[in-house]
Amino acid sequence: MMNVKKILTVGLLIYTLFISACVYVVLPEGLEAPAAEEEGAELKVWNAIVTNVGKSDAGDLHIDITIRNDTGDWSTMQAVAGKPAVLTTSDGKSVNCDTVFVNTGGHRFAPGFQMRGYTIDDNGELKTQTLYVECKGVVDAAGSVLSIAYESFNGILDDYDPEANKAEGVLELNLDEAVTDLVYPIALPVEGLMHEPGVGIPALSENVVTLLDTQRTETGFLFTWQNFNPTKFPLKTHIGTPPVIGSDGIIYGFYESLDIVEIPLTPPNENAQWTTEVAVPQDASGFYILLSVESNKPRTYINYAVDISDR
């Protein structure tokens, strides 16, 4: 009798385990298991390209670099301050490279665009800062890989929280794969990115900012802007001094806090006009304005690429 009970008990346990294995659990809505990442899906990150490998004036390894915004959003990026780039040679040795100029010059940069430098004010003189890394004491770079740690800040700029939407990453560059025929500034066209001159742009408190006129001058561009204020109160809509980027891959115009640039007060239900200027070389062409417009709330900016490539 005892043996029969044991047999029945064992049989019942086996049956229970079998039924349990066939049961599936339905998760509540919103708690579904995450979908597997699609094979080959592109990561939303910054990327970089080696455009030249040579020597500095001091005889050290010099690497010219172009950076490309593949984040899918407007973004500013910079190599992590105080952290050297790392060169890994073909024999596995690592060398710190302390001279690192890899950033957007403080500017929010358009998705799908690529750049190789920006302008700086050197004691009142306009100079171009190209993007590059130098490795002291290194001569032969064949088979080497350069790694650059960077941080980026994506999406709408909020001056009250400038480090919102921070991301970190590492640029990996094979020095044997230099590319010399890049086209600037558009690397990958982004649908809906381009904004035409003369078309109003929504701004703070339902104001509307419009680029009325673009003039090519002896020193660069003169832009005429207009703001329409439909409210009952006088307002200012800040756009700073918008920079431009052209077919040479250089951002022209210095970065500064957007709300410190003097602009007129727009009376209620009226228009106000003002001008901004940016210096560019006479022989440069194919420009786009990298425009930031105060929107949603004070000191919060949404970005637009304005096509002036025919000027």
* DSSP reduced 3-state for 115: strand
In a domain, 143, yes or no: yes
pLDDT tens profile 169-192? 999 999 999 999 999 999 999 999
- pLDDT surpassing 60 at residue 31: no
199, 293: one domain:
yes
55, 146: one domain:
yes
Residue 28's pLDDT band, with cuts at 50, 70 and 90, is very low
In a domain, 12, yes or no: no
Sign of CA dihedral 170, 175, 176, 180: positive
Chain-centroid distance of CA 129 in Å reads: 18
Average pLDDT of the residues in 1-14: 45
In a domain, 18, yes or no: no
170, 65: one domain:
yes
Q: What is the pLDDT of residue 42?
A: 59
216, 270: one domain:
yes
Dist CA 278 CA 210 (whole Å): 17
Average pLDDT of the residues in 186-211: 96
Of 144, 174, 204, the domain-final residue: 174
- pLDDT surpassing 90 at residue 290: yes
More confidently predicted of 280 and 35: 280
Per-residue tokens: 179: 């590319």
pLDDT above 70 covers a percentage of the chain that reads 86
Per-position DSSP letters for 12-67, written without gaps between them: HHHHHHHHHHT----PPTT-PPPPPPPTTPPP-EEEEEEEEEEE-TTS-EEEEEEE
In a domain, 164, yes or no: yes
Domain that holds residue 301: 194-308
- pLDDT surpassing 80 at residue 89: yes
128, 68: one domain:
yes
198, 227: one domain:
yes
218, 154: one domain:
no
More confidently predicted of 35 and 299: 299
In a domain, 120, yes or no: yes
Q: What is the pLDDT of residue 36?
A: 39
- pLDDT surpassing 70 at residue 201: yes
Q: How many domains does the chain have?
A: 2
